[in-house]
Structure 1
Amino acid sequence: MRRSLFEFIYKLRNILAQKFKQYNTNLPYILTVIIALIIVIVGTNLFIELTDTLESETLSSWDTAITDYVLSYRNPVLTKYFMFVTDVGDLYGYLIVLGIFFGVSFFVFKKWKYVLQTTLVLALASVSNVILKRFIDRARPSIEHLVSVETLSYPSGHAMSAMAFYGFLIYLFTQFKMNRFLKIATITILTILLLSIGISRIYLGVHFPSDIAGGFIAGFIWVIFCILLFNIIELFKKDPQTKA
């Protein structure tokens, strides 16, 4: 990702140098951030399109079919598992995982900035989820709830936060220089956990499948934007031309 961004900014700088004899050396970075925002806007449009179809009969039939399929597997063992993972996708779960990741970042990778970045992504997703829920105002499913819920339904806060938090962690671990087997194992566990949190909300009867899809899309938008933004900032700080 960083190499691709560097190559893009380098090409953009060459184009600007050919067009203008003098220009602000920060301009390539400003334009890159604008392009990143455009990507977010495109992703947001996809989210809005899904939101516009919430009342359609087709989506309703899909929600019902998927929900019935997931609920058909209800049993004591799976119920305990999904209750556990749904707790991992809640506030205290994030605090515990964040604490573990802080230890890994500080003592193994010697960089605490990763914890700050992950916290920021999670905070952005959580705050925007509250706003979206109030704006869309969709009620919860009327089926039996295996856990208590008080907020609105769409988009799923668990799915959105899980995609933002664990999705960004997955990205970070793909970038870390570490044992290949350990890297693959960690990414696999985080991916299973991310998907399980989404499925758990359907299994526990507190969300429609479209709530989960909307949450995953919205969370992924924040992941992509923050990855681009953090890498642009990193390149900007190391660029001798911007320092000059």
Structure 2
Amino acid sequence: MRNSLLQFIYKLGRLLRDKFHQYNPGLPYLITILVALVIVVLGINLFIELTDTLESDMLNAWDSRVTEFVLSYRNPALTKYFIFVTDVGDVYGYLAILVIATILSYFVFKQWKYVLQIVLVLALASISNVILKRFIDRARPSIEHLVTVETLSYPSGHAMSAMAFYGFLIYLVTRFRMNRFLKALCITALVLFILSIGISRIYLGVHFPSDIAGGFIAGFIWVIFCILLFNVIELFRRDPKT
């Protein structure tokens, strides 16, 4: 599979080089497409490598050490915070953010495409997470759960959705014309929120750290894949003759 993907990138690279002069106005899109392809291939390979080592002693020892470290900080205040964070990283949290994004798209950006793109990224991550959980079939940690869970463990749906949803928001923020300080503040806040959602699942006892790592990797793959897809669409939209 890895060789096939690399071969595809090589052939696409040759095609783009042959068409370079024709697509010169779309050079930023070409660069984004090529970089995204490479990252997707590397991301898929990393996710497969991690999944293959789920039962290894080394990974189990790492999971235990990280979990013990996180649980050692349990206290009432942090518990309330992480329950809030994990709730925001669930269905109702995403619906609230989508409502805000819809309002901004209508009144500020005057475009609906951003909302549609965000919905697509989240839908792909959510659907693929259900499939991966059933295929890999990893049980939840046996430690005390501070929240109720009913699904399987790997990869973490919260981590995967958070990375896909808020990760794509980070991409959109980087493209918007806005004050640099405000942009940096938004990106920092989103990154910290993604990390908080991941840590919350370990803190609440419902995921192994490797579940979170797998979820982050898989969610990041979807972010980059969708960036690739949207840039390809934009490139061909700018030149319908191709």
Superposed pair shares fold, TM > 0.5: yes
Structure 2 CA distance for aligned equivalents of residues 35 and 180 of structure 1: 24
Query: Aligned-pair distance for 1:111?
Result: 1.3
CA contact (8 A) 2:37 2:228 kept: no
Structure 2 CA distance for aligned equivalents of residues 39 and 146 of structure 1: 36
One-letter amino acid of the structure 1 residue matched with residue 103 of structure 2? G
Structure 2 CA distance for aligned equivalents of residues 137 and 34 of structure 1: 34
What are the residue-to-residue correspondences of 1:1-244 with 2, within 5 Å? 11-14=17-20, 40-239=40-239, 241-242=241-242
Structure 2 CA distance for aligned equivalents of residues 53 and 15 of structure 1: 46
Kindly provide the CA deviation profile for residues 122-155 of structure 1, in whole angstroms up to 9, marking residues without a partner as x.
0000000000000000000000000000000000
Kindly provide the CA deviation profile for residues 183-233 of structure 1, in whole angstroms up to 9, marking residues without a partner as x.
122111111111100000000000000000000000000101100110111
Residues 9 and 98 of structure 1: CA distance in aligned 2, closer, same or farther (over 3 Å): farther
Query: Aligned-pair distance for 1:36?
Result: 5.9
Larger Rg: 1
Structure 1 CA distance for aligned equivalents of residues 194 and 57 of structure 2: 29
CA contact (8 A) 1:36 1:229 kept: no
Q: Secondary structure at the match of 1:213?
A: helix
One-letter amino acid of the structure 1 residue matched with residue 181 of structure 2? F
Residues 105 and 146 of structure 1: CA distance in aligned 2, closer, same or farther (over 3 Å): same
TM-score (norm 1): 0.85
Structure 1 CA distance for aligned equivalents of residues 127 and 67 of structure 2: 27
Residues 34 and 131 of structure 1: CA distance in aligned 2, closer, same or farther (over 3 Å): farther
Gaps of 5+ in 1: 1-6, 17-28
Residues 85 and 8 of structure 1: CA distance in aligned 2, closer, same or farther (over 3 Å): farther
Residues 8 and 117 of structure 1: CA distance in aligned 2, closer, same or farther (over 3 Å): farther
Q: Secondary structure at the match of 1:142?
A: coil
Structure 1 CA distance for aligned equivalents of residues 15 and 142 of structure 2: 51
Residues 9 and 110 of structure 1: CA distance in aligned 2, closer, same or farther (over 3 Å): farther
Q: Indicate the percent of aligned positions where both proteins have the same amino acid.
A: 74
Structure 1 CA distance for aligned equivalents of residues 41 and 85 of structure 2: 31
Query: Aligned-pair distance for 1:99?
Result: 0.7
Residues 220 and 8 of structure 1: CA distance in aligned 2, closer, same or farther (over 3 Å): farther
One-letter amino acid of the structure 2 residue matched with residue 142 of structure 1? S
Structure 2 CA distance for aligned equivalents of residues 203 and 84 of structure 1: 12
TM-score (norm 2): 0.85
Structure 2 CA distance for aligned equivalents of residues 193 and 33 of structure 1: 27
CA root-mean-square deviation: 2.5
Kindly provide the CA deviation profile for residues 28-51 of structure 1, in whole angstroms up to 9, marking residues without a partner as x.
x9xx97996675344222211101
Kindly provide the CA deviation profile for residues 9-39 of structure 1, in whole angstroms up to 9, marking residues without a partner as x.
76340499xxxxxxxxxxxx9xx97996675
Residues 8 and 164 of structure 1: CA distance in aligned 2, closer, same or farther (over 3 Å): farther
Gaps of 5+ in 2: 1-12, 23-28
